Homo-oligomer: A and B are copies of this chain.
Amino acid sequence: MIQIGLVGYGYWGPNLARAAAESDAFALAMVADMSPAALERARRRHPTTRLVTDWRDLVADPRIDAVVIATPVGSHFEIALAALRAGKHVLVEKPMTDSPMTASILVEEAARRSRVLMVDHTFVYTGAVQAIGDLIASGRIGDIYYYDSTRINLGLFQRDVSVIWDLAVHDFAIMDHLLKARPVAISASGACFVPNSPENMAYLSVFFEDGAMAHLNVSWLAPVKVRQTMIGGSQRMIVYDDMQTSEKVKIYDRGVSLSEGQKQAYEHLISYRIGEMSAPVISSREALFTEMDEFARCIQTGAAPVTDGACGLRVVEMLATATRSMALRGQPLELRMERLAS
């Protein structure tokens, strides 16, 4: 079994610990957290796991095969780099780091040492996103025209990063997984209504090289919780509503087409297609379990994870670029990265 060392037992860490503990491929060997209260919580749930307060002790332990990092984003780079240099495989909470520069250093370090570097973009491993990926791959959606996502709720305000780094990161990871076209520019705008706080609401437009467009509406200051994504294609359109308890993904056989070669008035050329709606069966397996399986598979085979370091880097570049555009009230900024999806 792969011996896991988990750094950070705060909000999300316990979920990663549980997933590691319940997996047949992993053993949760060690947990590091600066907080004695957090370590006490870990002790009650995982009585046989070793506990340390300094992550450096965990990274230095030769019995640890893989390090899972669930600390605040500002510390991801230092811990992940140390873990890779110590020869560990790394699974790091999203976003991978807080700048494209540090993200690319991690990617290079992992490549140099042939270690797995994986980012915990959990949504990519949900049954819903995997079903959407299958639909797109099957050709039933056709060319992708747009990706339009609303991800809003009340709270939780974060002190160190804007809502973009907290919520838009999910959509950038999903887009990176689903869309094959290269994003070329971003225009973002946002606002903050709590003094001395980062932006709590933001709107992001992403332009793709093939003319497709994505748009994200993210907020911590909405009266209701919404998790809805629409994906429009030339053949069909998808509505993915993650707040539904069933039928999260609906496929609409709807669209518009322009008849060519006709000399009639313009309005006669546009025709609308209103066909059946259907909702496929979605796997209800917990995404974190699928993700841990992927981590184990890549450690064992040397394969690149679906959400590998290169993916994590692309997402960080988009986050950083969107943040700069937001400071400029929507000034569009070019993306330099080679390709969104690998």
* One of A32-40, A90-98, A216-224 at the interface: A216-224
- List chain B residues, Cβ under 8 A from A205: 189, 203, 329-330
Contact with B along A177-194 (1 / 0, CB 8 A): 000000001010111011
- Tell me if B223 and A230 are in contact (CB < 8 A): yes
A252 close to chain B: CB less than 8 A = yes
Q: How distant is A168 from chain B, measured CB to nearest CB, in Å? A: 14
- Residue A243 lies at the interface, judged by CB distance under 8 Å to chain B: yes
A207/B230 in contact, CB under 8 A: no
Complex Cα distance, B280 from A252, in Å, reads 10
- Copy number of this protein in the oligomer? 4
Question: Chain B interface: which of A23-31, A54-62, A76-84, A267-275?
Answer: A267-275
Q: Does A221 lie within 8 Å of B232, measured CB to CB?
A: yes
Tally of contact residues, A, Cβ under 8 A:
68
How many Å lie between the Cα of A254 and that of B185 in the bound state? Answer: 35
Q: Which stretch (A119-127, A154-162, A298-306, A313-321) binds chain B?
A: A154-162
Q: Which one of B187, B230, B250, B272 contacts A222 once the chains associate, using CB atoms below 8 Å? A: B230
Residues of A within 8 A of B (CB): 47, 145-146, 148, 150, 154-155, 157, 159, 185, 187, 189-191, 193-195, 197, 201, 203, 205, 207, 211-213, 215, 217, 219-225, 230, 232, 234, 237-239, 243, 245-247, 250, 252, 254-256, 258, 266-267, 270, 272, 274-281, 325, 328-332
Can you pick out 6 interface pairs between chain A and chain B where the beta carbons lie within 8 Å of each other? A190-B213, A191-B211, A203-B205, A203-B215, A222-B230, A223-B238
